Amino acid sequence: MSLHLGDEVPNFQATTTIGQLDFYEYLGDSWGVLFSHPADYTPVCTTELGRTALLQDEFAKRNVKVLAVSVDPVDKHHGWVNDINETQNCDVQFPIIADEDRKVATLYDMIHPNASATATVRSLFIIGPDKKLKLSITYPASTGRNFFEVIRVIDSLQLTANYSVATPANWEEGQDVIVVPAISTEDAIKKFPKGVNVVKPYLRYTPQPNK
């Protein structure tokens, strides 16, 4: 199946490095990041899982639960985790799904035949507490993901879910945001007491409202 933004993501049950898991139950009321790897003991993936482990506190602060997917069996995952912890100076605590039958990879369209007939591509999904897809990014197997960008996007998604704002290019936490077009300037001035900077009638900035 092909997932689109706003779709409810499919639930699944899987064997993981922390035991049997129901995806929806695991997420609960949290946000989720689900990301795939072509296989265990691959160099780029080793660095990615290590980086994610080093950012575990940042994900936790944002009420985000992380899960990784690889098509290898769980005993192989455990051996790989030891290598990740050793080489990346981290402690991987989040679950890694053993997707030997490629059930999760198929549900989330992680296998792109023109890239590889069997291996998952580097797909990453950000899922809201409503179990709907908020963002998806797919990288080729040769390019490692930027997990600081993933954190930045989560900050934007969580902010814009609660306020009538959007975030401009290269926005980072604490910077000014854009008032959405659906709100008139008159209403924006009332809604955002920190001030509204009108550059154009359609381009209006305000300080980040939750700071």
**Active-site annotation, residues:** 45
CA-wise closest residue to 204 among 157, 162, 158, 168:
168
According to DSSP, residue 132 is labeled B
Which tokens in the block code for residue 198?
């009108």
CA nearest to 179, candidates 164, 201, 157, 162: 164
Whole-number Å distance between alpha carbons of 47 and 143: 11
Residues in a beta bridge with 135: 126
As a whole number of angstroms, the distance between CA 34 and CA 111 comes to 15
Question: What is the number of H-type helices and E-type strands within the chain?
Answer: 7, 11
Task: Give strand ranges (E) for the chain.
Answer: 13-16, 19-22, 31-37, 64-70, 96-98, 122-127, 133-139, 165-166, 177-179, 197-200, 203-206
- Inter-residue contact 70 to 98 (CB < 8 Å): yes
